[in-house]
Every structure is written in C-alpha cells, then in structure tokens.
Amino acid sequence: MLKNYLKIAFRSLLKDKFFSFLNVTGLAIGIACCLLIVTYVRYELSFDKHFENQENIYRVVIEGRFNGRDFTGVQNPAPAGPTFLDQIPAVEQKLRFRGTGDWIVEYQEKVFNEGDLVFTDETFFDVFKVNMIEGNPEEALTRKNHLAMSETMAKKYFGDEDPLGKTLKLDNAADWTVAGVYEDIPDNTHFHFDFLLSFITRENEYNGQQWLNQNYETYLVLNPNATTADVETQMNDIAIEHMGAELKMYLDMTFDQFKAAGNNFRYFLQPLADVHLKSAGYGGGFEPGSDITYVYIFSAIAAFILVIACINFMNLSTARSANRAKEVGIRKVLGSVRSQLIGQFISESVLITLISGLIGLGLAMLILPFFNNFASREMVIEPMQTLPALLTGALLVGFLAGLYPAFFLSAFSPVKVLKGNLSMGMKSGGLRKVLVTFQFSISILLIIGTFSILNQLQYIQNKNLGFEKDQVLLIHNSYLLGDNIAVFENKIEANPNVSQTSKTWYLPTSSSRSSTVFFPDAVIDQDKGVVSQNWNVDHDYAEVFGLKMVEGRFFSEDMPTDSMAMVINQTAAKSFGIESLDDAIIGDFNEDGSALDRYKVVGIFEDFHYESLREEIGPMILRLGQSNGYMGIKLNASNYQQVIDEARNSWDEMAPGQPFEYTFLDDRFTNMYTAETQLGDIFLIFAVLAIVIACLGLFGLAAFTAQQKTKEVGIRKVLGASISQLIYIMSREVSVLVLISFVVASAAGWYGVNQWLQGFAYRPPVSVMVFLLAGAGAFVIALLTMSYQSIKVAVANPVKALRNE
C-alpha cells in the first residue's frame, strides 16, 4: 500500500511540475530559514553551559539606587568574595577578576598589544574547569608575576618552543613567568581571556580595598543543596554591616540614614547560564552580552516562516483541488474509502516535505558562512546530527500541513465532482483567505520591525551627541612614547592637516570610566552627595572633541589655579544645584580620605552622550590631569592618510619596537551599536525571505485562479471589458486581503516596536511612515505578483479561451 502511495505521489508531482516546484521551493526556503534561526537560538542558549558544574556557579550582581539614579552592575568590592566564602557555609568557592585594559606583551622580537588580559584568583581552574594543556592548574596562579596563557597565544609568542618557564615582559615593565597553557576558551562563553595573571601579584592592592569601591567581578560556587535566596540574604547582611561602617566613617551617616535619603542597594546571584542573555543594562562585564528578547523574537520568526511555508502548501494543495477532483470522484466510485484517500494525500505531503527538507538542509549549510558574518558567530550545522531531527520534523510538518488538504480533497462528493459542480480557485474556501491574510500579516510585521530598527539606527547616527565624532583620529597607548610624548605631539600638530591634539584615557565613546562621590560647597552631607563621572583631561580636550561651553570657560594654560578647578556638564550643574559660577564649589575627598578638597567650578559644558543612547546622561566632572592613554588628533582636512603615515613614522622613531595602533572616533561610536546593526541586518534578511515565500504561494494561487478564470475573462473581453478592468477584477480580492493584513500587522507592530524602543533612553517617536511604507511595500509586491498572471490572462486571445466551450 505504501509503495503504491509513493508511486502515485511521484506521478502527481511530475504531472504538475510548476506547482510542485513552487511547493518544494517555498518549503525548502522556509526549512532553510528555520534551520538557520534554530542554529542561532541554540548557540545563544548554549553559552557557558559547557562548564562542568555550571548549574552551581553564580555571578554576584549589585543593584540599587543612589542620589536619584538606579544602577545595576557586576563589579563588587575586593573583600566581598573572600568574606562570603568565609562567612556563608553554602559558598564552596569564590573567584574574582580584575580587568585592567590593554597591555603590551613582549617576547624577544615579538611585541603586540593584547586586550584579553585579566588578574584572577588562583581558584580560576577550580571554578571554570578549563583544560590545562601544560602546567599544573592548582599552582599556575599561586605565585607573584606568574601567568597562564591560551594555546593560541602560546603558539603566537613561542611557536613550537615549550612555553613553561619562559618570560614575557608586560607593559615594558615587569617580567612574568609562564606557568601554564590552557585550551582556548570556547566561543560560546561570556569571556575569552588569553592571559590569566596571578592576583597575588597585586595582593597589597586588593587586600586593602574598601567595600565602597566596586572594581572586581566576583563568582561564587554554591553547594548543590543551597538555596540562592538564603545565600543572597546572608550576602546582603554582610555587605550592609561592612558598607554601613564605611558610610559612617566617610559620610558620617548610618545605613538607615542612607536608606532614608532614598538610597539603597542589594546583592543578588545571577546563574552562570543567564550571564550572556540576561545582562542587558548591567554596568561592567567582560564582553557585550545579547538579549533574551532577541532569542524570543528570532524563535517566533523561525516559527512564522515555517508556518508561512506550510500555509503555501495547504493553499496550493486545496486550490488545485479541481485538478484532483475527478480523480477523487472516480476513486470513490471504484470503491476507495476515505481513509485510503487521506493516506494518499498525506503521503504526497510528506514526500514533498522530505524532499524540501533535504534541499533546505543543503541551502542552510550553503548560507551558514554568510549568516555567521552577519551575526558575528561561529556556528556550525552538523549534517549527521541534524538529519534525524530534520527528517522527524519533515514528517511531522508534512503530516500536519497535509492534514487539511487530505480531508478537504477526500470529502468531495463524487456526484458533484463528476457533474462539474465543485467550486474552485481563490474563492473556494474562506480558510484560504484567512491563511493568506495571516502570512501577509507576518510578512508586513517583519518589514515593520526591519524599518523600525533601521529608523532607530539612523536616529542614533544623526542625533546631536554633544560632541564631534567626525575627523578625529585616535592614537592608542600614547604613554608608550614615554618622555618623547611632547615631541611627538608637537610634530603632529605641525602637520597642516591637523588643527589640535589632546591626550586622555577618557573618550566620548565607550572606553575607560571612573565614578566618584562629590559634595556641593565642599561640605559632607549625606543628602547631597552626587555620584559623577570623574575624568582627567588636558587643556585642549574640549577643542579636539568638540565640547560646547554653555557658561564660563574651559581649562586654560594661562590659569595656574585651574589645577584646583573643575568643568562640569549641565546634568552635574543641576544635580549640584549650581545656578551661578560665582561661588560654585565642589568637594572631593583628599588622598587619605580625611577631608574634602575644594574645587572651583569655572565652566559648564553641554551634555554629551558618553555612553550608549540606551543610557541617560549622568553627571560628569572634568579635571586637569596626566592621562596619556589616547592621543586625539583633530583633522582639518580629508587627507587623513598622510597624517597616519607621518604619525607612524614618528612613532617608530620615538617608540621603537612598540606597536602602533589607531582608530577613528566615529568608528568607535558605530561599534557601540553593533548589536542593533546586526539585528537590523538579520531582520532584513528574514523579512525578505518571508515575503519571497509568501509571494511564491500567492504566485501559485494567482496562476491557478487565472487558469480557472480563463473562460470568464474571455467572455468579459468579448462583452467589452478593458484590460485594466480585467486586472482589477482579478486582483481586487488579494488587495483586500493585504489591506486586512496591514491592519492586523500594524496593531501588533505598534506594540512590539514600542516595547523594543523602551531599551533606549533616547529614541524618536514611533514613525507612522514606517508602517505606511511597510504596508505599501507589501501591497505593491503582492499586486505585482498577482498582476503578472492577471495580465497574462487579460491580454490573451478570447477565441482561444472560448474555443472548447
């Protein structure tokens, strides 16, 4: 029986090659899209789950409110980890990290600037059981100036030499001994350290840290039987005790007074598996995470695309009922029962999905490298692992997608069929209209999502940021010039293509950050303390980066008293209650923390976006100070390559053997929104594919409807109908369905876009034009798809249509 079903199924497919091609192509594209998205979602959900005992590893996160501003961060005090381990029985192990930016790493003639270095406790290999290739994991980080490095870095610096015991020079200063080499950390991990530096090297620093200083990322391993809520309660009790003592010491306030002023904080434990996808908006972190919302969105898109492909199959199968109706009628007359007919049509459906599934798998594997480039991932599809699931899914989808056509076709009355009384075409079923409406609603919704993301990105690029990001060249690690830095700077400024230079660690785009508590009028008052960004800059910072003064002045080399002066932004002026610069004083603790130093506010500059537009602008204070991390070069001409070449040549003369690196400020700004750009690209790809799949189905329906209306059109032409009237008659029903789809998609899109934009503190209003463009685009595409067949029938010779009447 099965053999007979398959034989007839193959004959049916070959008999109507055009509709079979549309069915197979639509399903294959849908399955390929679904496979790609499922691969992406599985990859995102797999982060950090490869670590042994990962279900008992937690990251310590602090959240709270201070001086009217909410915060959530992953940096904790240095003593927190050891204290929690000592005082909470459920904590079995602790691990701390301290990132310190880029370092220069040197071995013999090899010198590179490396960014993935971190100081860490000796317990790293106990908590994250990364495989050690060479060395003893229990001893590698137990001695001062010892480090472990990744396998890739070992090959980069030592080639085929044995790395153990070799010495690397870090930052042109201390020598570090290689005590271990470990396997490269997998891509699906929320950190990728290439060098692990022993924390004990900085023992004096981190042992003396206070609870109010939040600089270390802390991980805890809990007993499997522990309750996280109980551990969090104990953590907060301990933190309140220690922080309360320091609040009393430095701010002369108790923790109760701290809370009464509207401030608070709370520690909680974040499961390791949640770090990658559930850290949106968290301050700190080793690498930018993703957002679980995107996983949900892409999962829904995968389901929608597959459903659209299945809808196409159902629509085409039921619409083609006329071609199979007489076959069904004759079969019934000859004794076929309904169950046999259902089996026949379901077997045809399953056969199509199996063929489509195999083609879809091939397409997915072919497209995956390009998809990896868009998503910045290194995902793989293993055919032998994917095939069983794919075949099972194809069987299930084939069964479900073929269920309705099978029951629909098998229910035909043989008397009506053989008399020719069966209704056919686009109007033969209300369910078909619902399905067409649904698939175009999804397509329009995807277009709305794509346009909205692109609209937000355009808003970000065009918004007045409060600083000038164009024509600014950044030379990295300018401190490597040492005593030659002034000579280098003068030589650069002598170039006619350069207007000014400035040296700083702090850039208007994401880079180094530093927060400090300041007090207005230099008086310690727990109700008036303001947490503000605290940046050291030079006299030319405002000119190079285009800061706009709204009151007062910037620092001047002609004013020696500026060493005890501050320049603040508008938000800081409001936070400190400064209405006039005449007597504006701000206090900061001196080096030993015993009293406040008094700083005169000499200027207020316009707020600028020093963080992503997801974050609100906070208070900022600029002070004069030595800060030679970057040298910003303001260009006054487009011939930037000549400036780069001259800077490189001068660098090689004044800092021989040191790596020369540079970027442009506008590129750094763009990189802040890589996730949104990638999201827009991926949305656009799948929106286009969803429309293609929907149009394949619509094209098939249009072709079949046109075929069924051939005689009607011939009669209308004979009676005087124009071609435009005929096209209107053929296309009006689809136009109505697309209009209904637009209304449904707009309602869902309005809600979804508003929810997504909530993640940005600065955003444009939801654009009605986005919705109109999406609807118009879908309408034009559907109309063109339908019109091709309509015009084909409308311009045909009516004599041919009526010849056999």
Task: Note the pLDDT of residue 624.
Answer: 92
Task: Note the pLDDT of residue 795.
Answer: 66
Find the mean pLDDT for residues 48-54. Answer: 93
Domain presence at residue 254: yes
How many angstroms separate the most distant Cα atoms in the chain?
A: 108
Task: Note the pLDDT of residue 805.
Answer: 47
Domain presence at residue 96: yes
DSSP class of 191: -
Whether residue 332 is predicted with pLDDT greater than 70 in this model: the reply is: no
Q: Give the model's confidence band at 725: pLDDT under 50 very low, under 70 low, under 90 confident, else very high.
A: confident
| 490 or 690, higher pLDDT | 490
Domain presence at residue 109: yes
Q: Give the model's confidence band at 384: pLDDT under 50 very low, under 70 low, under 90 confident, else very high.
A: confident
> Percentage helix, strand, coil, to 5, in the chain?
55, 20, 30
| 627 or 200, higher pLDDT | 200
Condensed to tens digits (0 to 9), the pLDDT of residues 622-670 reads 999 888 889 999 998 777 888 899 999 999 999 888 889 998 988 887 7
Average pLDDT of the residues of the chain: 82
DSSP 3-state of 62:
strand
Q: Which residue has the tokens 């702090």?
A: 506
Whether residue 510 is predicted with pLDDT greater than 70 in this model: the reply is: no
| 545 or 762, higher pLDDT | 545
Q: Residue 519 belongs to what domain range? A: 472-671
Condensed to tens digits (0 to 9), the pLDDT of residues 417-457 reads 555 555 544 444 566 677 778 877 887 887 888 788 778 77
Among the candidates 241, 274, 307, a domain finishes at 274
Among the candidates 671, 697, 723, a domain finishes at 671
Q: Give the model's confidence band at 250: pLDDT under 50 very low, under 70 low, under 90 confident, else very high.
A: confident
Report the C-alpha gap between 191 and 511 in whole angstroms.
18
Domain presence at residue 645: yes
The DSSP result for 113-177, as a single string, is EE--EEEE-TTHHHHS-PPEEEE-TTTTTSSTTEEEEEHHHHHHHHTTS--TT-EEEETTTEEEE
Task: Note the pLDDT of residue 209.
Answer: 66
Residue 114 pairs in a beta bridge with 103
Find the mean pLDDT for residues 552-577. Answer: 91
Among the candidates 671, 705, 740, a domain finishes at 671
DSSP 3-state of 550:
strand
Confidence (pTM): 0.79
Q: Is 266 exposed, middle or buried (0-12, 13-18, 19+ CB in 10 A)?
A: middle
Whether residue 236 is predicted with pLDDT greater than 90 in this model: the reply is: yes
The DSSP result for 361-401, as a single string, is HHHHHHHHHHHHHHHT------HHHHHHHHHHHHHHHHHHH
Find the mean pLDDT for residues 606-619. Answer: 83
| 569 or 204, higher pLDDT | 569
Find the mean pLDDT for residues 358-368. Answer: 89
Q: Give the model's confidence band at 91: pLDDT under 50 very low, under 70 low, under 90 confident, else very high.
A: very high
H/E run at residue 487: helix 485-493
Q: Give the model's confidence band at 705: pLDDT under 50 very low, under 70 low, under 90 confident, else very high.
A: low
Domain presence at residue 185: yes
Domain presence at residue 628: yes
Domain presence at residue 344: no
Domain presence at residue 46: no
Top-confidence range, 14-18, 67-71, 290-294: 290-294
Task: Note the pLDDT of residue 321.
Answer: 55
Number of domains, the chain: 2
Condensed to tens digits (0 to 9), the pLDDT of residues 149-162 reads 999 999 999 998 99
C-alpha angle 489-491-492 in degrees, rounded to nearest 5: 65
Find the mean pLDDT for residues 30-58. Answer: 91
Task: Note the pLDDT of residue 520.
Answer: 87
Task: Note the pLDDT of residue 25.
Answer: 82
Q: Give the model's confidence band at 47: pLDDT under 50 very low, under 70 low, under 90 confident, else very high.
A: very high
